[in-house]
Every structure is written in structure tokens, then in C-alpha cells.
A and B are shown apart, each in its own frame.
Chain A
């Protein structure tokens, strides 16, 4: 490598800077592409809900939790509390677009579903919404992945993914783990 004059050094450094810029740009483009084409976007719906009245009124009252089919929409509503999920088990059909909606009345929680890309924080004051398609059937683990107090290690739920033809909503449109 030449380093006889300042100019030599500057020239080499400029080449390298150009290369670095190109690499960074390429990475950016890949991310934009993934975001647009594969709809890989993090949950960002800024939808507020009052933690103090969560279980008293509205969407997250006890009777409305779990999986429910409404026309072509399949939605599961889950409440995360210290230190359990309500319900502890949800049923989801394989190979269909489904929506998961989470809220909490107390502290910060978060979930992931092992073996999938489902991942969101659950922040008191907001509804976290994730769309996904489950491709593998079976019981998947859905732990709370953000420290929420001393019982955090014991906080998990199950996502039961069933083949599409075994996914049969009751007359009220609901599907529960017990019914199966």
C-alpha cells in the first residue's frame, strides 16, 4: 500500500470510503426490499387502550379473549398479566393469515412464538398487533420475553396450530383449546 505522500493516503482512504458507502447502501436497499415485498414490518400501529379499564370494558374483556372467526378474519386476543396469559392456550389454523392482538393491564411484557418470526413488545397503554401465517402444525411455545417481575420465568402460553380442515369455529365464531 502506498503511503509516500498525504495525497496517496487520501486517495486510498477515499476509495475505501466509497466502498463503505456502497456496502451500507446495499444493506439499506436489501432491508427496504424485504420490508416492501415480504411485508416484513414490525408492529407499529400506535393504537391506545387504557390499562386501568382494560378488563372492564371493550375488546379485552374476559368473554372476548381467545381466537374468533369473523367472516374471513381470524383474530386472537390475548391479555398478558403478571405472570400469566389469558387465555393460556390459543388455537390457530395453519396456512391462513391470522391476526394476534395483545394488551396488558399492568407492566411491560413481550412475546415471541418459538420457531416463527412472531415477536412483539406488549406495552401498557397500547394494543400490539401482529399478522402472520403459521406453517407448521403442533403446539408452539409462546413465552413472555421481557422481564416483568419475579414470576417472569414462569410466564408462557401455548399456540396450538391445527390443520386448516380441523379448524372449526363454534356457532359464536370462537375456537378454544378445551373444545378439542
Chain B
């Protein structure tokens, strides 16, 4: 096994181990919120669990997945060994150390601040330092991805960077920008307060800095799924990518528009003006563009595959697709969930309608559908596609993989549809126990139980997923082909592409300009108006 593959395997196992633990916690949380009596339920236990679930799913699963997949893409698309593998292992070690530190503080009851850790509530400083270490590990990854691309360009002047790698570097560049906000919040505000060096904190500023990170981070999680849509799904379906240029454009648009939009998380906040909320909402609307472009390009690519396989008529090509292949099946399900999720997203982003859903279960349901559904189902498909090349073995039948994907899809639907409905009824989020004696809340009970049932299906799927991965390592697995084609060719593979579509220098300048426009004054205002500070509230010591 090459160095990069060993790295990939290590990262992905950490990602999916965190995922499996978090799935168990998630189901217990659903139980706790339902009218059925759940074991071990106290407020302390619930918020410990939600903190662990959120941190594992949103930070550990995703960061390790993005890094591991990035190393894989770099090695397989560029056809050269990964630069500085020792540094890559250092990044991995920092990530593990950070994760263990954060986990220890959470399970000791010293970090019940949830994964968004809004000050002035403050946890043990080691919770934040752990998270910072994970981020520093990911910065090493960003650097390595950029170096790998530059090396490739130097050795192959004029050759386009392969799309999958171009997208991976777009993500690395975006992530460097993204983490500036939360890093500033943690290093200058929260960690000093957690150590007791500060007794007060400017909360308006900290929320604004966090919002800088909060939207783009979602695209960081999402881009592996989009890489799979553009490069792996058309190949698995037996077709070609409709347009390589559109792919490049999409990832550039994500880089540009995922950053100056974070303030849509602050629509209901009193410390920012309507003008800047409105500006950032306008940019948010533009983020819909790359997603719609993707829907089109991927549908067209799939249509090509379906027609090559003999599909006829307007819809005949859909039936002709090889739905028995996990990557194709997962892509179909991911798109289905994307339609629902995208529609919900439009409601969230609109300035006024946000008031109807802000901080209700609608929001939690929305991101479970789009992130836990669309994105994570593609993580599964990616794992199934690349694991045979990591272990050299694969199970004799794909039946269990298909079953696992179906369970995830059905479970997600059963869990999130009633959850959305409850949000519209006014059910609010982050609650350990509801007062089902209240007649309004009592009416919600049956729907919460349906959601809980969906959660149980999801847990079954999560456990089956881990079991399926173990199958690749078993003796009874059959030998896998050594170099299966993974990435689709474009219908017209590019010979040359303009420099703007082959690198990021220009786009970084644009991001800088947009960020100054979108966040310059909203951050500066806290120093101008001399905003009053809030007293730090420490949650350490199990209480």
C-alpha cells in the first residue's frame, strides 16, 4: 500500500468510528425528547450527549473524511507520490490528540456548551484547545494539497489540473479562509476567558466572528460529495461528465460565495443592521447557483450514461441506469434529498421567513436531511468505491451495501419529515425534555415518536455500514481489481484550460474584496460603538 493510501485508511477509520458513536448518541437524544421514558436522562446527560454528537458529526467525521479523501484524490489523480508524507502524519496526530482532548472534557461534564459553544458560556479551556488542534491538523492538510497541485503544474506545464484535484484544492483554499473567523474567536476571546484571564467578553463580536465560519464550513463538509457527483458517479454509471468547465466553475463559485454569507445565521440577532443582513442575504441567494448548475450537469451526465446503456425516451434513460451500483444508487438518493433540503434552505435564507423557523426543529431537521442525508450518503458511497483499492479486497456481493444505503435514505425521510413539521408548529431545538403535560406540546408527541423510529432505522444503517467496511478487511473478501477506473472523463476532455480555471490566485483576491465588503464594517463596529461586554459564565466542574 502506498503512503497516501495508508493515510487515507487511517483518516477514514477515525471519521467513521466517530460517526458510529455519534449515531448511538443521536438515537438516545431522540428518545429523550419523545414522550417515551428514556434511560439515564438528566439535563447534564442530554447536553453532554448533544455536545458529543454535534462535535463528532460536524467536526470529527467531516474533517477526517475531507482530509483522508483529499490525500486519496491527490495521489490517484496527479499520478505522483504525495509531498511531505511525514507532515501529513503530523496533521493526523494533531487531529487525534485534539479529538481525544475534546472528548475527555465533554465526557467529564466540563464542556456542555454544544458544538457552537456560544460565549459567555465557557467550557474547560482544553475543550477549545482540542478543537484548535484539529483545525491546525487540517491546515497542514490544506498546505499539502496546495503544494501537491503546484508541484503537478510545475512538472506538467499547460496540463489542466484534474477536476477532482482542482475541487479538492478549492476546498483547501476555502477552508483556510473559513477557519479565520472561528480561530480569531477562540484565540482572542474564548480561550483567554476559559483560562480565567478575562472576566468579560464581547458577545456581539464573538457571534459575528463565528458566523464568518458557520456557513462556509458547511461547504467544506459538502465538497467531497460534489466531487463524487462530478467525477465518480458518471464513471460508475458508465457515462461521461457532461462538462468539465462547468465543474470548475461550480467549485470556484463555492469558494467565492460560501464566505461572505455567514451573517444569514444572525438574521434574528440585534447586534447587526438590516443593511448588512440584506447584503449577505443577496450573496446567499447566489450560492443557489452552483447547486443548480450541478443538478443540471450531473443529470445530463447521467442521461448520457443511461442512453449509452440503451435507455430511450424522455425518462427511459433513468430506468436504464445501473442502480445496483452503490455509487449510482447513492447519487440518486442524494439528489432526491437535495430537492427537499434545497427547498427548505430557500425558506431559511429569506430574511423574513426565517422568523418562522429560526431555532426551531425545522432547522435541525433541515441540516439532518441535507448534511446527514445528501452529504453523508455520498461519504458512504465514496468509502465503498475507494475501499477496494485500499485493502485490495472487496465483498463478493454488494447486497449489503445497497441495503445499508436504502436504510439510510428511508430512515432519513422518516426522521426528518415529521421533524420539519414539528418545527413549523413551533417546537424549539436543543431541549432535553418537553413538558408533555402542556396540551400544545402533547399534540407533538406522536410525531416525535415517528422521528425516533426513523432514528432507529438510521442507527441500524450506521452499524451495517461499519460492518460492511469490515468486510473489506476479511479473509473471505475476494481480490479486487488493482486499478479500477474511478474518475469519469469529460465528454470533451479539456486539453488546455484558461489559467483562471486552473488555479486560485485571482479568486483569492476576489474573496478578499468580498469579505472586506461583507464583514469589514460589521466587525469594526464593535470597536467603534464600544459594545458592552458580558460576564463570563463557566460551566466547568460538572455543573
**A24 with B352: CB separation less than 8 A:** no
B276 nearest in chain A by CB position: A44
**B532 with A48: CB separation less than 8 A:** yes
**B360 with A123: CB separation less than 8 A:** no
Kindly specify which of A57-65, A91-99, A102-110, A161-169 makes contact with the partner chain. Answer: A102-110
A176 within 8 A of partner (CB): no
User: B100: shortest Cβ distance to chain A, in Å?
Assistant: 25
Which range holds the interface residue count of chain B? 35 or more
User: B219: shortest Cβ distance to chain A, in Å?
Assistant: 17
Interface residue ranges of B262-276 to A (CB < 8 Å): 266-274
**B293 with A51: CB separation less than 8 A:** no
Say whether, besides A27-B346, A51-B532, A40 and B355 are in contact (CB < 8 Å).
yes
User: A53: shortest Cβ distance to chain B, in Å?
Assistant: 9
A45 within 8 A of partner (CB): yes
**A41 with B351: CB separation less than 8 A:** yes
User: B468: shortest Cβ distance to chain A, in Å?
Assistant: 35
**B440 with A141: CB separation less than 8 A:** yes
Cα–Cα distance between A75 and B525 once the two chains are bound (Å): 28
Q: Mark B417-445, 1 if CB is under 8 A from A, else 0.
A: 00000000110111111100010110000
Kindly specify which of B189-197, B277-285, B322-330, B378-386 makes contact with the partner chain. Answer: B277-285
B531 within 8 A of partner (CB): yes
A70 within 8 A of partner (CB): no
Interface residue ranges of B387-438 to A (CB < 8 Å): 425-426, 428-434, 438
Cα–Cα distance between A122 and B44 once the two chains are bound (Å): 23
**B43 with A153: CB separation less than 8 A:** yes
Q: Which of A24, A120, A122, A128 contacts B285 (CB 8 A)?
A: A24
Cα–Cα distance between A38 and B353 once the two chains are bound (Å): 11
Interface residue ranges of A137-157 to B (CB < 8 Å): 141, 143-153
A124 within 8 A of partner (CB): yes
| A13, A82, A123 interface centre (most CB from chain B within 10 Å) | A123
B30 within 8 A of partner (CB): no
Q: Mark A2-36, 1 if CB is under 8 A from B, else 0.
A: 01011001101100110011011001101100110
**A24 with B286: CB separation less than 8 A:** yes
B118 within 8 A of partner (CB): yes
Interface residue ranges of B315-355 to A (CB < 8 Å): 346, 350-355
Q: Which of A20, A31, A41 contacts B293 (CB 8 A)?
A: A20
B243 within 8 A of partner (CB): yes
Q: Which of B44, B293, B352 contacts A34 (CB 8 A)?
A: B352
Q: Which residues of B contact A120 (CB under 8 A)?
A: 268, 270
Q: Which of A28, A34, A121, A127 contacts B269 (CB 8 A)?
A: A121
**A16 with B296: CB separation less than 8 A:** yes
Say whether, besides A106-B120, A123-B270, A13 and B285 are in contact (CB < 8 Å).
no
Q: Which residues of B contact A35 (CB under 8 A)?
A: 278, 351-352
A15 nearest in chain B by CB position: B296
User: B426: shortest Cβ distance to chain A, in Å?
Assistant: 3
Say whether, besides A48-B532, A147-B430, A31 and B270 are in contact (CB < 8 Å).
no
B226 within 8 A of partner (CB): no
User: A104: shortest Cβ distance to chain B, in Å?
Assistant: 8
Say whether, besides A34-B350, A123-B269, A23 and B292 are in contact (CB < 8 Å).
yes
Q: List 30 A-B contacts (CB under 8 A).
A: A13-B246, A13-B293, A16-B296, A28-B285, A30-B350, A31-B352, A34-B353, A40-B355, A41-B351, A44-B272, A46-B529, A49-B532, A51-B534, A51-B535, A106-B535, A107-B534, A110-B268, A119-B358, A120-B270, A121-B266, A123-B204, A123-B271, A124-B120, A124-B203, A145-B358, A145-B360, A146-B430, A150-B539, A152-B431, A153-B431
20 new A-B pairs (CB below 8 Å) besides A20-B289, A117-B356, A146-B118? Answer: A1-B303, A17-B289, A28-B282, A41-B352, A43-B268, A46-B271, A46-B529, A50-B532, A82-B537, A106-B537, A108-B207, A114-B426, A119-B356, A120-B270, A125-B271, A143-B431, A145-B358, A146-B430, A147-B47, A150-B112
By a beta-carbon cutoff of 8 Å, the part of chain A in contact with chain B is 1, 3, 5-6, 9-10, 12-13, 16-17, 20-21, 23-24, 27-28, 30-31, 34-35, 38, 40-52, 82, 106-108, 110, 112-115, 117-129, 141, 143-153
